[in-house]
Amino acid sequence: MTHKVLFTGKTHNTNGRDGGARSSDGFLDVKMKQPHPAAENLFGAAWSACYMGAIEVAASQKQIKLPAGIAVDAEIDLNVDDGNYFLSARFNVSVPGVDPGIARELLDAAHSICPYSKATHGNVTVVTNLV
């Protein structure tokens, strides 16, 4: 099987009091002093952005025109149990102007399209709420 690489994100990360992350294209430049939950915030931003794109793909596949104003509020929890660290997530998704039943179908379909959702499936508990 061959695949086509659409994009490669490249970042350089450093730790400590002057730590941070910077992308090779300069688009991302974040200071992350330790300790700070920046990783969870960045992961939530990246995953929810990808997920919104997947909602658009799902709508297009079902020939549904989405209105402007779709939004995802992502909450990424860093948890610990018996010394084992793990993530859990909540997505609160607004799809204004779309019937709630149809919106729910799109949200569910988006998790099977979004590469972040696929990568975390079975590893991260995700609750997706339609708000």
Instruction: Domain of residue 69: give its range.
Output: 35-130
Same domain, 64 and 126: yes
Terminal C-alpha separation, the chain: 40
Beta bridge partners of residue 50, listed in sequence order: none
Residue for token pair 């995802």: 72
Does residue 27 sit in the same domain as residue 79? no
Half-sphere exposure of 65 (CA within 13 A, CB side): 1
Nearest to 74 by CA among 110, 9, 128: 128
CATH number at residue 110: 3.30.300.20
Helices marked H in 34-99: 38-61
Model pTM?
0.88
3-state secondary structure at position 103: helix
27 shares its domain with 85: no
Residues in Cβ contact with 113 at an 8 Å cutoff, skipping those fewer than 6 apart: 54, 57, 58
Of the candidates 121, 129, 125, 127, the one whose C-alpha atom is nearest the C-alpha of residue 103 is: 129
CA–CA separation, 114 vs 51, rounded Å? 5
85 and 73 in one domain? yes
- Same domain for 66 and 125? yes
List per-residue pLDDT tens for the chain, 131 residues long: 789 998 899 999 888 788 888 999 999 998 887 666 778 989 999 999 999 999 999 999 999 999 999 999 999 999 999 999 999 999 999 999 999 999 999 999 999 999 999 999 999 999 999 99
pLDDT at 18: 83
Number of domains, the chain = 2
- Are 55 and 116 in the same domain? yes
Whether 11 and 66 map to the same domain: the answer is no
Amino acid at site 23: S
